[in-house]
Structure 1
Amino acid sequence: MSDFYEFALLFTVKPDVPQEVVGTLQYMVQGQGFDFTPTLSNPLFSEPGGTVIHPSGTPIRVLPAWHSFFRDGHSELEEYLTGSFGNSFSENRLAVRQVIHEDAFFNTWDELGEWLASISATVGLVGYYRNLEDDSIEDANFICFESGQLSEPSIEDVQNVDAFLQDLENALSASDT
């Protein structure tokens, strides 16, 4: 049986990042159209999309793994967890909380996390991920950004988890209105 992960991020993008970076994040969150191809020089975005033909003869659009990373929520599983889920990208602030399949997460997270760390103005705790089978936030893998680098410290090394969770809830519940 496959595992699902709760995944959350909250950070502000550096004010001096190129507009193409902002546009890429907006696309990842809002997803207008399927033909967006960033020209960012990053291996994460070099994975090609395309079309394959199903044995029935039906064409199926295959999208790169990064394409819908912030949009692949599984709402039926979110119903069993407390708090707000969804995503928003407003005023250069990205807020995401969703349930994501383990394959989609682990096939993309390392490269995506490194890229996000490089464009983040926020330092310190910016997110977490955890298997839905884990009972509490203490079992989560925490995500921190510092000096453009990604780290996953233990809970003993993370400050202000409760403040982060409240800020994330505020950002996501505000985007619902």
Structure 2
Amino acid sequence: MFEEHDQIRQAATECMCNLVVCKEVQERYLEDGNDKLKLLVLLCSEDDDKLQRAAAGALAMLTAAEKKLCTKITLVTAQWLEILQRLCLHDNMQIQHRGLVIVYNMLKADNELAKKLIESEILEILTVIGKQENHPKRQEVIDVARTCLSVALDLGLIKPFS
């Protein structure tokens, strides 16, 4: 993943996406003193869709498995929120879905982090996606956005819209 060669970096990121289901690999991302998590977050901002999809997929699985990583993401780079917003707005629905799953995991992980997310443009993004009409090709994305809004509502961070 640290390679300069685009195809090698993409393949390594895809490999890591497959490996993060292993507890031992997840623990390595929890360790302090390495830039593994920072690299994954930054790879989510690359222009290569395949690389973004793999990095965002790895982050989605890691944040689902290890709540501590949700908070750690906010500490590894000041750009984390902007990168997350870009994922959630992505034209590629697979990448957008992964971004929304990361948001969901972060909302569920920590109330302060949830508040920070809802006070950002993420709320507007979730609302726009969640208000879309049901559509078979976009339904997964719409459902995750609606679930995120439901979590925010349950946490008392937003009020029901009329």
Query: Whose strand proportion is higher, 1 or 2?
Result: 1
Question: RCO higher in 1 or 2 (8 Å CA, sep ≥ 6)?
Answer: 1
TM-score (norm: length of structure 1):
0.30
Q: TM-score, normalised by structure 2?
A: 0.31
Greater helix fraction, Structure 1 or Structure 2: 2
Query: Which structure has the bigger radius of gyration?
Result: 1
